[in-house]
Amino acid sequence: MKNHTTSPLPFQGQKRKFVKHFKEALKHFPANATYIDLFGGSGLLSHTVKTTHPNARVIWNDYDDFAHRLALIPTTNEIIAQLRPIVANHPKGTRINEVKPTILEVLRQYPSEALDYI
């Protein structure tokens, strides 16, 4: 099993900076225990448990339907490619009121289930 330390979809507050400490702490817990990842997100900590303790039972709460989000990556990248030139002249953190209608027009080209608003 490949040992991943980051998610393919980075989240705000993702636990990737925590993995090193988490792996160290896991050494002090049973290898055959049941581990529950209540705030699973990308499943990074669940994956870390399984790579550290392959015989452990891991329950991952995929509340945000991460598998579906992974399937949307090509569409998300396509949308981002269309939006980048629209917002290119707007520094981060500034309002984009004048281009908002153009952005919404791009988004309307896609079914709502294909949009990931995170």
29-80 pLDDT per residue, tens: 999 999 999 887 788 889 999 999 999 999 998 887 888 888 888 999 999 9
In terms of domains, do 56 and 20 share one?
yes
Is 81 contained in some domain? Answer: yes
Q: What is the pLDDT of residue 13?
A: 59
Cα separation of 35 and 56, whole Å?
7
- Dihedral of CA atoms 33, 34, 38, 44 in degrees, nearest 10, equals 70
In terms of domains, do 46 and 25 share one?
yes
Containing structural domain, residue 89 = 72-114
Is 87 contained in some domain? Answer: yes
Number of domains the chain contains: 2
Give pTM, 2 decimals. 0.58
Lowest mean pLDDT among 4-8, 95-99, 103-107: 4-8
In terms of domains, do 20 and 53 share one?
yes
Distances (CA, A) of 89 to 64, 82, 85, 92, 99: 32, 14, 8, 10, 10
The model's confidence at residue 81, banded by pLDDT at 50, 70 and 90, is very high
**Average confidence (pLDDT) over 86-106:** 93
In terms of domains, do 58 and 85 share one?
no
In terms of domains, do 60 and 79 share one?
no
Cα separation of 16 and 4, whole Å?
10
Is 101 contained in some domain? Answer: yes
Is 6 contained in some domain? Answer: no
Q: Is the pLDDT of residue 84 over 90?
A: yes
Tokens standing for residue 104: 């919404």
In terms of domains, do 50 and 21 share one?
yes
